[in-house]
């Protein structure tokens, strides 16, 4: 018994439950990863706060890659099909995953969505996670890379306040660069220092989906990721 409240050892049970949940998720994620690899799909887990510009970045990506690569997306949100509809309107197969109360996607939700997504052959699959800088970071979905969208309007301290998210990121995309002139208090050097102190291997790009700034650099990173995954793929 817990001496402080008599609730029956609360220090142990939450850890055991979380370990069990993550273990089951990791098993599902491994299945997703095998599917992606066998199908030649590079899956990207795109995370960030609500309003960080995740969907806008994907819309700009679709416009830039139209006719060059086969793209698809699944978008997680507590409610509505708004993001999925935006991506379908942009021209790619997209399915919304409504989680109800869950603040993140898990591997099973992604697996089930893929069976419902009528996309055909896919080169790049974008998994647009639920807007949140906490929970999505700890759930493996079977992705090839984690990308965090961080808008200039969120402030410079987010990497320090939510370090797990940035520690697990392969790339941080600083979005809404066109708004910097309207943010006189924004200090890019402070943001860069915060990223440097949290990411094991800092990799940062700056983009504006509105003006197209940095989109070509983002596309080059995607090409590099696809090339590296192709080189790692087992010989069939």
DSSP state of 128: E
Mean pLDDT of 114-127: 95
Rounded-to-integer distance, Cα 22 and Cα 214, Å: 36
Quickly list DSSP for 39-95.
Answer: HT-EEEEEEE-TTSSHHHHHHHHHHHHTTTS-EEEEEEESS-SHHHHHHHHHTS-EE
Domain spanning 18-230, CATH architecture: 3-Layer(aba) Sandwich (3.40)
Task: Give the model's pLDDT for residue 233.
Answer: 75
Rounded-to-integer distance, Cα 152 and Cα 164, Å: 20
Task: Give the model's pLDDT for residue 1.
Answer: 34
* Count of C-beta atoms within a 10 Å radius of residue 102: 16
Give pTM, 2 decimals.
0.90
Q: Is the pLDDT at 38 greater than 80, yes or no?
A: yes
Residue 3's pLDDT band, with cuts at 50, 70 and 90, is: very low
Residue 21's pLDDT band, with cuts at 50, 70 and 90, is: confident
Tens of pLDDT, residues 43-76: 999 999 999 999 999 999 999 999 999 999 999 9
- Where exactly are the structural domains of the chain? 18-230
Q: Is the pLDDT at 192 greater than 70, yes or no?
A: yes
Mean pLDDT of 202-218: 98
Q: Is the pLDDT at 9 greater than 80, yes or no?
A: no
Task: Give the model's pLDDT for residue 4.
Answer: 42
Closest CA to 120 of 168, 69, 79, 53: 69
Task: Give the model's pLDDT for residue 2.
Answer: 41
Mean pLDDT of 204-227: 98
Q: Is the pLDDT at 42 greater than 60, yes or no?
A: yes
Task: Give the model's pLDDT for residue 14.
Answer: 54
Q: Is the pLDDT at 6 greater than 70, yes or no?
A: no
Q: Is the pLDDT at 12 greater than 50, yes or no?
A: no
- List all residues 6 or more positions away from 76 whose beta carbon is below 8 Å from its beta carbon: 96, 97, 98, 99, 104, 105, 109, 127, 128, 129, 130
Mean pLDDT of 153-163: 97
Tens of pLDDT, residues 77-114: 999 999 999 999 999 999 999 999 999 999 999 999 99
Would you state the structure tokens that stand for residue 234, as one six-digit string?
A: 């087992």
Rounded-to-integer distance, Cα 180 and Cα 185, Å: 9
């Amino acid at each position: 018994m817990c001496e402080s409240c008599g609730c029956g050892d609360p220090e142990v049970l939450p850890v055991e439950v979380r370990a069990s949940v993550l273990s089951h998720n990791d098993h599902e994620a491994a299945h997703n990863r095998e599917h992606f690899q066998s199908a030649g799909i590079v899956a990207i887990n795109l995370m960030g706060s609500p309003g960080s510009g995740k969907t806008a970045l994907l819309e700009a990506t679709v416009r830039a890659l139209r006719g060059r690569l086969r793209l698809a997306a699944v978008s997680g949100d507590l409610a509505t099909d708004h993001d999925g509809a935006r991506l379908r309107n942009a021209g790619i197969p997209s399915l919304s995953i409504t989680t109800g109360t869950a603040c993140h996607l898990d591997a099973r939700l992604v697996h089930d969505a893929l069976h419902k997504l009528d996309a055909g052959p896919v080169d790049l699959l974008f998994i647009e996670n639920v807007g949140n800088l906490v929970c999505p970071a700890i759930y493996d979905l079977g992705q090839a890379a984690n990308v965090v969208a961080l808008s200039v309007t969120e402030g410079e301290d987010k990497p320090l306040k939510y370090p797990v998210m940035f520690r697990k990121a392969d790339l941080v995309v600083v979005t809404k660069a066109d708004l910097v002139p309207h943010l006189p208090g924004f200090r890019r050097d402070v943001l860069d220092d915060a990223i440097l102190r949290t990411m094991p291997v800092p990799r940062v790009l700056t983009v504006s989906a509105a003006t197209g700034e940095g989109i070509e650099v983002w596309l080059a990173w995607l090409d590099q990721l696809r090339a590296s995954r192709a080189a790692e793929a087992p010989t069939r």
